[in-house]
Amino acid sequence: MKKLGLTALAALAAMFALVFAGGAAQAYPDNTLTIHVSATTVTSGHSFTFSASAPASCSWTASFNGDTKHGSGKSFSGSFTTPSVTKKTVINLTITCDTGNARVSGHAGNALAIHTAVTTRSIPITVVPKGGNNSSNGGLPNTGGPSMMILLGGLVLVVAGGGAIAYGRKRTNATA
């Protein structure tokens, strides 16, 4: 019983150490980017829009399929047109925010300097051919139905459970 108490006390002390000991990374606020894309699957030749925002003013760069757009401020938006493809293709939309020596308002109205940071995020955009099948293997698209292996595994578990119940009842009736 004494060992259990000491173990619980050690676990509690470790939990408090992890929760209340601030890391060095908290000295610099994370330059969190919020990115929205109108669609992540786009038909060949069509366009999609994007918007991005950050807590600090940025020098923005957005790149997609060799095309680049630039902007500045706390928010940035634009659109790109997808290339013509013959099969399903994934192309990354890359958005970069360079804060330079930006400042962000603190909790008490103080200004906290954000270290010079370049934050980059990529979002995969799937481009599908016009009027064709959207799947890459020429078959029907996967619509989320159960796969055969999961179905067979469930059937095996049901049969095993029924067998265990039947065996248990047989033993109970034999001893009565």
Q: Is the same domain home to 90 and 175?
A: no
Longest dimension (CA), the chain: 83
Domain housing 51: 27-128
Give the least confident one: 34-38, 108-112, 114-118.
Answer: 108-112
3-state secondary structure of 39: coil
Q: Is the same domain home to 116 and 82?
A: yes
Q: Is the same domain home to 124 and 170?
A: no
Identify the pLDDT of residue 150.
82
pTM over 0.85? The answer is no
How does strand 41-43 pair with strand 67-81? unpaired
Q: Domain holding 102: CATH number?
A: 2.60.40
d(CA 25, CA 59): 23
Q: Is the same domain home to 115 and 67?
A: yes
Confidence of residue 135 (pLDDT cuts 50, 70, 90): very low
Q: How many domains does the chain have?
A: 2
Identify the pLDDT of residue 17.
61
Radius of gyration over every alpha carbon of the chain, rounded to an integer in angstroms = 28
Whether the CA torsion 33, 34, 40, 46 is positive or negative: it is negative
Identify the pLDDT of residue 114.
46
Q: Is the same domain home to 93 and 171?
A: no
